[in-house]
Amino acid sequence: MLIVTVCVGSSCCVRGSDELATKLQQCIEREHLEGRVDIVGAFCMDGCSQGISVRVGDRQFSGIRPEDGESFFYREIIGNLDRDSLVRAPNREIVL
């Protein structure tokens, strides 16, 4: 299970962290990755001055905008799922 933590502290909330989390969740559902990727919230992740903070596993990012949610998902989340979980994902064809 890959845990994606989206900051829901006040500064990130004002910048649209709820919208970003919704977009990431929509991507998870579109790719049928429920049970393999989970979105959770956390309070201030010490990156307030740089924009919305997101942690993917043990990697932290700052300055993620809601409108970049989909590209962030495909670049930083799908790319970090282990090979086995992609192969076993239902309704998904991947040529490896």
State the residues that interact with ligand FES by CB under 6 A. Answer: 7, 9-12, 44-48, 53
* Residue 7, number of CB atoms within 10 A of its CB: 28
Q: How far is the CB of 65 from ligand FES (least distance, A)?
A: 13
Q: How far is the CB of 21 from ligand FES (least distance, A)?
A: 12
Q: How far is the CB of 51 from ligand FES (least distance, A)?
A: 9
> Rounded to an integer, what distance in angstroms lies between the CA atom of residue 15 and that of residue 95?
38
> Rounded to an integer, what distance in angstroms lies between the CA atom of residue 21 and that of residue 25?
6
Residue 23 vs 31, nearer CB to ligand FES: 23
